[in-house]
Amino acid sequence: MSNIALRRAVRRYKRVYREIRMVALALKSPHHPVFAHMVVTRRCNLACTYCSEFDNFSKPVPIEEMNRRVDRLAALGTTAITLTGGETLLHPQLEDIIARIRSHGIIVLMITNGYLLTVERIERLNRAGLDRMQISIDNVQPDDVSKKSLKVLDQKLRWLAQYAEFPVHIHSVVGAGTTRPEDALTIQKRARELGLGSSAGIVHDPTGHIQAIDEKSKKTLEDIEGMSKPLFSFARHNPWRANLLRGQPNDWHCPAGGRHLYICEDGLVHYCMAQRGYPAIPLADYTQADIDREAKAPKSCAPYCTIFCVHRIALLDQIRDNPGKALVQLFPAPEPGQAKPPLPIRALTAAFSSAGPERSAPSRSTLLFRKAALRILNIH
């Protein structure tokens, strides 16, 4: 095994342990943020015409302030932080922020357009301890809408395939930066060819609501999902996504503001990137009472929401609070030949779902398994 393959294997083992721990913590308690998105700079080096997330002048948030925000999120019990922008690689001390997050044992992810990646920067991200990277690619050839193109980024993807010790995920939003939805399929095929992860999302408007997509785009999404390996995929098992694609609203509770936080460049807490302005309380002043109140607050934007990372957290909460309903929604009886969810998810579900109010008291063996899982995962 080569050095890089060995380092990747060791890191994968440790990361999977920490990710299982994150899920177990989320199942065990509803009182901490599971995920936070944190803006490191609003500035971007590109100007995609559909984007409302950037400007071309903001300075990076100073490192001292970023460290304070990371420490505050850690004190609130946050289990994963995604660094976002603008363009994250424009922050000159991005690696210091990543290392600070890792020093708290928090999982750290970043989103980038990839333009500024070099071999040297990838190696710095390795050393800082980055857990995952997501790159969005909109089209095969650059056009007036978006320059996040496979043609421009292919060399960066090859460097990542060769040097990155963290998983890289290529995300294409069907209906966003292209008039050719079939480009998304080409992008996903290239990602797989290089051994990188891939996924496709649905375009939403600035408030997080789904935008209508045509039949060609729907077919592209189906083709991309059809390429998936026969493993559990949240996209395939997300019952709310399927409903949205049929134009139907969803009946779910959004826990943003409590279980998911979006921290803008000014250090204010918002529900998500699409619902900025609520509750807009400084992170430095955010308390447990704020988390518990906002997690329970109804959100009028929920029925047509496409913010899938918040869907994920809501499903975890549903597994804990109403396991029967959640499991039927998430894992309908598999068709012959269809894959079951992976063993860790089934085991954790079995261990923690009996905490819900609908269940009778857990059996002795379930209690023993739960205790052992908590001990192994170092959860008290």
Joined together, the tokens standing for residue 176 give 């966003």
Work out whether 89 is an interface residue with ligand SF4 (CB under 6 A).
Answer: no
Q: Is 361 exposed, middle or buried (0-12, 13-18, 19+ CB in 10 A)?
A: exposed
Per-position x/- string for 342-361, each x denoting binding to ligand SF4 as judged by CB under 6 A, each - no binding:
--------------------
Pairing of strands 168-174, 80-84: unpaired
Position among 32, 132, 299, 370 found at the interface with ligand SF4 (CB under 6 A): 299
Position among 47, 242, 328, 372 found at the interface with ligand SF4 (CB under 6 A): 47
Q: Is 173 exposed, middle or buried (0-12, 13-18, 19+ CB in 10 A)?
A: buried
CB of 323 to ligand SF4, least distance (A): 22
Work out whether 36 is an interface residue with ligand SF4 (CB under 6 A).
Answer: no
45 HSE (CA, 13 A, CB side): 12
Work out whether 54 is an interface residue with ligand SF4 (CB under 6 A).
Answer: yes
CB of 276 to ligand SF4, least distance (A): 9
**With CB under 6 A as the contact rule, which of the stretches 191-199, 230-238, 239-247, 299-307 interacts with ligand SF4?**
299-307
Could you tell me which of 157, 219, 220 has the C-alpha nearest to residue 192? 157
Residue found by looking up tokens 């999404």 in the block: 221
Work out whether 368 is an interface residue with ligand SF4 (CB under 6 A).
Answer: no
CB of 106 to ligand SF4, least distance (A): 21
The answer to whether 80 and 36 have CB atoms below 8 angstroms apart is yes
> How wide is the angle at C-alpha 293 spanned by C-alphas 290 and 298, nearest 5°?
130
Position among 167, 175, 208, 258 found at the interface with ligand SF4 (CB under 6 A): 208
103 HSE (CA, 13 A, CB side): 10
What residues between 104 and 143 interact with ligand SF4 by CB under 6 A? 113
The answer to whether 269 and 281 have CB atoms below 8 angstroms apart is yes
Work out whether 302 is an interface residue with ligand SF4 (CB under 6 A).
Answer: yes
Nearer to ligand SF4, 6 or 280 (CB): 280
Work out whether 254 is an interface residue with ligand SF4 (CB under 6 A).
Answer: yes
DSSP classification of residue 282: E
Contacts of 95 (CB under 8 A, 6+ apart): 124, 125, 127, 128
What residues between 269 and 288 interact with ligand SF4 by CB under 6 A? 271-272, 274-275
CA quadruple 329, 330, 331, 332: dihedral, nearest 10 = 30
**With CB under 6 A as the contact rule, which of the stretches 10-18, 39-47, 71-79, 122-130 interacts with ligand SF4?**
39-47
Work out whether 323 is an interface residue with ligand SF4 (CB under 6 A).
Answer: no
Work out whether 221 is an interface residue with ligand SF4 (CB under 6 A).
Answer: no
Work out whether 310 is an interface residue with ligand SF4 (CB under 6 A).
Answer: yes
Query: Looking at this protein, which amino acid is placed at residue 278?
Result: Y
Work out whether 307 is an interface residue with ligand SF4 (CB under 6 A).
Answer: yes
The answer to whether 305 and 208 have CB atoms below 8 angstroms apart is yes
Nearer to ligand SF4, 306 or 353 (CB): 306
Query: Looking at this protein, which amino acid is placed at residue 153?
Result: L
CB of 297 to ligand SF4, least distance (A): 9
Point out which residues pair with 65 in neighbouring strands: none
Q: Which residues bind ligand SF4 (CB under 6 A)?
A: 44, 46-48, 51, 53-54, 85-87, 113, 148, 208, 254, 256, 271-272, 274-275, 299, 301-302, 305, 307, 310
